[in-house]
Amino acid sequence: MARAVVIGGSGHVGTYLVPALVERGHEVVNVSRGQATPYRPHPAWALVEQVVVDRTAEDTAGTFGPRIAALCPDIVVDLISFDLPSTRALVGALRGQVEHFLHCGTIWVYGHNAAVPATEDDPLNPFGDYGTNKAAIETWLLREARQTGFPATVFRPGHIVGPGWAPLNPAGHFNLDVFSHVARGEDLTLPNYGLETVHHVHAEDVVQVVLRAIVQRSAAVGEAFNAVSRQALNLRGYAEAMFRWFGQEPKLRFQPFEEWKTRQAPEDAQATWEHIAGSPCHSIDKARRRLGYEPRHTSLAAVQEAV
């Protein structure tokens, strides 16, 4: 099998990806800062080569790309690239050596869409530094795939969910107190009418897209794929479902966002605005047709496992 280097493999997606690659017979190298442990244990980690690298420092020194190339990978999965210069330097070091380069993008590259569910053919309309930088990276990578033959694939996760980290909640932010209020059957106030959407994905299903892209390389190179659950949730429906999951009757109130945000912590209000301004809702038809992707987890099931 192949030698696979996973950059940032100790994080949310890597927790599932690295063991899955090992189980499929790949020789796996995890490149990380060495400051985190996987979110769940797995015996496969004993077979993984660990390489400790500070990407930011080595990018500054111009040594990160050569360091990865020296690992002699057949496959590179980059889970933690957030600016174009870093990706360009890495690709320059790997060009002509690597068989497949998979970049973790994000649904934030879409911004807001005229029609939903949004497909990979829809124009990108990012906002904020994160979405804008990610859009620049994937636009450049896919152009390189078309024009120079660099074997790049982009996968775009939604709001990643899984055991060990806080899921995006029905109020559109990450404060776990929302779930506590719901569990106690207390009133929950949502912004506007609660009809804006969020689109979760279990980390295990993100990994499914990556694994299928590796196996079906010819169908994946030069392409971007949405990696989300089958259906997005609107905030109201999400909240009602969570009330009932806790055995409570929904108790919802609604306020215009500008009024609602005055009663929230500033960081929570900002997170909610960023989510509802885009109201992500994305199609997985392309990943289904080309790769055979079928998410194992619904949005609600993924959230409930994490909660």
In angstroms, the CA 98 to CA 65 distance is: 12
Sequence letter at residue 18: V
Residue 120 burial (CB count, 10 A): 18
What confidence score (pLDDT) does residue 159 get?
97
Tell me the pLDDT tens digit for each residue of 200-209.
Answer: 999 999 999 9
Domains of the chain (ranges, CATH numbers): 3-161+200-230+281-296 (3.40.50.720)
Tokens of 255: 């306020």
CA 281 to CA 11: how far, in whole Å? 24
Residue with tokens 């797995």: 42
pTM of the model: 0.96
pLDDT, position 94: 98
pLDDT reported for residue 210: 98
Q: 55-76: per-residue pLDDT in tens? A: 999 999 999 999 999 999 999 9
Say if CB 206 and CB 162 are below 8 A apart.
Answer: no
**Contact yes or no for 243/166 (Cβ under 8 A):** no
- Residues 82, 104: contact at Cβ < 8 Å? no
197-198 and 233-234: which strand pairing?
A: antiparallel
**What per-residue confidence (pLDDT) applies to 39?**
87
pLDDT beneath 70, residues of the chain: none
